[in-house]
Amino acid sequence: MKAYLLAAGLGTRLRPITDTIPKCLVPICHRPLLAWWVDLFDSCGITEVLINTHYLTDPVREFIGQNNRTSRVKLVEVYEQELKGSAGTIRDNRDFVRDSGDFLIAYADNLTNADLAGMTAFHKMCGAPLTMGLFHTNDPKGCGIAALDSQNHITEFVEKPENPKSDLANAGIYVANETLFSYIPKEGMCDLGKDVLPHLVGKMSGFEIKDYLIDIGTMQNYEKAQTDWKSIMENTK
Q: Mean per-residue pLDDT for 48-74?
A: 93
The pLDDT value given to residue 178: 92
Portion of the chain with pLDDT greater than 70, in percent: 99
Task: Look at residue 11 in the predicted model and tell me its pLDDT.
Answer: 66
Considering the domain 2-235, what is its CATH architecture? Alpha-Beta Complex (3.90)
Q: What is the pLDDT of residues 97-155, one digit of tens each?
A: 987 889 999 999 999 999 999 999 999 998 899 999 999 988 888 888 898 888 899 99
Would you state the pLDDT for residue 86?
92
Per-residue pLDDT at 235: 77
pLDDT above 70: residue 63: yes
- With contact defined as beta carbons under 8 Å apart, do 138 and 154 qualify? no
Instruction: Report the distance separating Cα 76 and Cα 1, nearest Å.
Output: 14
Q: Residue 236 pLDDT > 80, yes or no?
A: no
Q: What is the rounded distance in angstroms from the CA atom of residue 176 to the CA atom of residue 25?
A: 26
Coil/strand/helix, residue 140 = helix
Length of the chain: 237
The tens digit of pLDDT for each residue in 158-176 reads: 888 888 888 899 999 999 9
pLDDT at 237: 64
Task: Please give the pLDDT value at position 22.
Answer: 87
| Peptide bond before residue 32 is cis, with ω within 30 degrees of 0 | no
Distance between CA atoms of residues 153 and 236, nearest Å: 33
Q: Is the pLDDT of residue 75 over 90?
A: yes
Residue 81 neighbours by CB distance under 10 Å: 6
Q: What are the extents of the domains in the chain?
A: 2-235
Reported as a pLDDT band with limits 50, 70 and 90, residue 186 is: very high
- Overall average pLDDT of the 37-53 stretch: 94
Cα(9)–Cα(189) distance, rounded to whole angstroms? Answer: 14
Closest residue by Cα to residue 137 from 228, 227, 209? 209
Q: Which residues, in sequence order, are bridge partners of residue 235?
A: none
In this prediction, residues 196-202 reach a mean pLDDT of 92
- How confident is the model at residue 142, as a pLDDT? 80
pLDDT of residue 162: 84
Higher pLDDT, 193 or 208: 208
Q: In the prediction, which pLDDT does 12 show?
A: 74
Reduced to 3 states (helix: H, G, I; strand: E, B; else coil), residue 79 is strand
CA distance 174 to 106: 6
Helix (H, G, I), strand (E, B) or coil at 187: coil
